[in-house]
Amino acid sequence: MSDTPIPTGPFGGLTRLDHVGIACRDLDASVEFYRSTYGFEVEHEEVNEEQGVREAMLRINGTDDGGATYLQLLEPTREDSPVAKFLARNGEGVHHIAFGTGDVAASAAGIGERGVRVLDDEPRSGTAGSRIVFLHPKDCGGVLTELVQSAH
Ligand code: CMX
Ligand code: CO
């Protein structure tokens, strides 16, 4: 058990930029672009059926709080998924940003009290056992925003 205190503060205790989510039509081609152009390697790949995505996490760097910063490449697995809808409207591109937090439920509650719609009543399952919630893009200046608490 860690005795690190849960972060608190006026902005829900967010500690870092965890990842930028990018919608793509062909995950393997997108992974290859980021590998051959920038040298980023895949740290983790999975299918998340609840979110309707096949995804790859590409690690950019490590940070001194034990987390890292990633690109999350997202290919839809079904036509009624958020990423499929986004691709149909906008084509490939930046889909969301995600802030890291030590306590996703507390952060979501604090941010929700400020009038931002939290799209998930309870945190859902994200990459590699993380717990995630989304904030409505219309309440965040047009930016779909995720809060993520990593499994470790
Ligand atoms: N970024 C910014 N705006 C967005 C958006 C996005 N990614 N997706 C939709 N919108 C906007 C649309 O442009 C549209 O705006 P207008 O009304 O001005 O035209 C409005 O939101 C509604 O769009 P929609 O296509 O009708 O989409 P829905 O309302 O059905 O869904 C949202 C939008 C955000 C509620 C839905 O995408 C959602 O619940 N997302 C969270 C889950 C998710 O994205 N999962 C995939 C990633 C998983 C992961 O990161 O692990
Ligand atoms: Co994400």
* Alpha-carbon distances, residue 119 vs 39, 61, 142 (angstroms): 35, 29, 15
- Indicate whether 2 belongs to any domain: no
In contact, 128 and 46? CB cutoff 8 Å: yes
Q: What is the mean pLDDT of residues 89-104?
A: 96
DSSP 8-state symbol, 36:
H
Would you say the pTM of this structure is higher than 0.75? yes
Q: What is the mean pLDDT of residues 62-78?
A: 85
In contact, 15 and 90? CB cutoff 8 Å: no
CATH value at residue 71: 3.10.180.10
- Is the pLDDT at 47 greater than 80, yes or no? yes
**Number of structural domains the chain divides into:** 1
In contact, 150 and 2? CB cutoff 8 Å: no
Q: Let me know if 136 is a catalytic residue.
A: no
Q: Which residues have CB under 6 Å of ligand 1?
A: 21, 51, 53, 72, 74, 82-83, 85-86, 89, 95-96, 119, 126-127, 134, 137, 142, 144, 146
Ligand number nearest CA of 82 is: 1
Mutating to test ligand 1, I would choose from 86, 117, 148 the residue with most ligand atoms within 8 A of its C-beta, which is: 86
- What is the predicted pLDDT for the residue at 1? 42
- Is the pLDDT at 23 greater than 50, yes or no? yes
- What is the predicted pLDDT for the residue at 148? 96
- Is the pLDDT at 65 greater than 70, yes or no? no
Domain range for 126: 10-149
* Tally of CB atoms within 10 A around 27: 18
- Indicate whether 17 belongs to any domain: yes
Q: Let me know if 95 is a catalytic residue.
A: no
| Atom of ligand 1 minimally distant from the CA of 144 | 1
Residue 152 banded pLDDT, cuts 50, 70, 90: confident
Q: Let me know if 55 is a catalytic residue.
A: yes
What secondary structure does DSSP assign to 82-138, as a single string?
HHHHHHHHH-SEEEEEEEEES-HHHHHHHHHTTTPPBS-SS-EE-GGG-EEEEE-GG
Whole-number average pLDDT of the chain = 91
- Indicate whether 1 belongs to any domain: no
Cβ-based neighbours of 146, under 8 Å, separated by 6 or more: 18, 21, 96, 97, 98, 99, 126, 132, 133, 134, 135
- Indicate whether 3 belongs to any domain: no
Instruction: Read off the pLDDT of residues 4-16 as tens digits, 9 standing for 90 and up.
Output: 455 565 556 898 8
Q: What is the mean pLDDT of residues 117-126?
A: 97
